[in-house]
Amino acid sequence: MIEEDGYELFAANDIREIFQRRKTDLLRTIDLLPDEVVVGRDALATLQSLVQKCQLTAPALDLNDIHITAQGRRQIDVRNDVYRPFADRTQPCMVDGQFITVAFPFSGDWNLLLFKPVTYGFIAPNACVKNNSVEYVFEGAPAIDIESMNREKDAFTKRLEKAVGSIASSIQAFNLEVEKAAADRLEAKQIDARSRQQAVNSLGIPARYRSKESESTSLKDPSEKDMGTFEYDVFISHAFEDKLEVVRPLKSLLEAADCKVWVDEAILEIGDSLPQKIDEGLRISRYGIVVLSPDFFKKNWPRYELDGLVTREMSGQGKVILPVWHNVDRDKVAQYSTPLSVRFAGNTENGVEQLAQQLLRVIKKV
């Protein structure tokens, strides 16, 4: 569930969903490598690059920098207060009270804190992930009980530390797993490629392979084939930090031109599975606008979305990815993805209005 200005802690499905998706995409990418790469002298360097892009960096808490980000009075729901008699605790009971918001900073990718740890269950309804911190809200009505608050802070800190440690252990195991799986898959590809080449050489006749381009000239453009089967015109993949400046105004401009736009905060509802809904959004959207920015490059969750769009293009659906540069240049994009850096991309430097017009010429083919 997406909060007003943050994401609910550990609210999405098991983190193993991310592991499985990334491993599957990595092995699929290796399977698609041409023989000249598989048996070439740079095969191991190519494999290492692919593995590094697949592997994850675990978030790490900085317990020496815990700090307060907000405090004041507001309406507080006290239905679960065991010292208050209620006939029906299923209904909210709002009273005036105090609140204090405490931030627990961390390094690494905040997206990984959206998923349930593998070996440690943790429910924290008063916590969300925001601005590279886990923010926890302490409440009390009519006032906060200081002793209770300090006990709650200590208990929450221990539980959070244990949960993040569980995630780190899972990621370490995943990184080792994909490294071995990728090496095994490449070795199998190399054996297959060399045995086929040996068989070809034994025939003693020249090879004249048809190019993929010539095979596809008689086929209908796959980008046109399924135009009527998509519920949304575009899916916008982005980092949370770019939502206010780029994504929301861009969404408004595209919708004003009768485009149906899939954006997480407009689609997701309480109780939704984040990975499942995003996979659905990728599947039912004709194009994927990818807002490439410094914040995008830091995160794994947008990469999950981009991988899904790449998979669609590789499966023969024509042009799917519409890249947009935001506060980046070609060199920075190339450091993240060489194929993306050589694509013609929209840019926010001339304003979101002009960007929207560029995108509409592709989306609407006007």
Residues forming the active site: 305
CA 274/CA 307 separation, integer angstroms: 16
Residue 217, exposed/middle/buried by CB under 10 A (0-12, 13-18, 19+)? exposed
CA 286/CA 223 separation, integer angstroms: 9
CA 366/CA 360 separation, integer angstroms: 7
- 127-130 vs 7-8, strand pairing mode: antiparallel
Residues 6+ apart with CB under 8 A from 214: none
- 115-116 vs 12-14, strand pairing mode: parallel
Using CA atoms, how far residue 12 sits from 1, 69, 116, 229, 352, in Å, is: 8, 25, 6, 28, 31
Single out the residue of 4, 43, 87, 22 nearest to residue 305, CA to CA.
Answer: 22
Helices (H), the chain: 16-31, 35-38, 43-54, 146-203, 212-216, 222-225, 248-256, 264-267, 274-283, 294-298, 301-314, 330-336, 338-341, 352-363
CA 344/CA 202 separation, integer angstroms: 45
Other beta carbons less than 10 A from residue 5's beta carbon: 12
- Helix or strand (DSSP H, E) at 96: strand 94-107
The identity of residue 222, as a single letter, is: P
Residues 6+ apart with CB under 8 A from 197: 35, 39
Please give the structure tokens belonging to residue 258: 């009768």
Single out the residue of 220, 265, 209 nearest to residue 242, CA to CA.
Answer: 265
The identity of residue 223, as a single letter, is: S
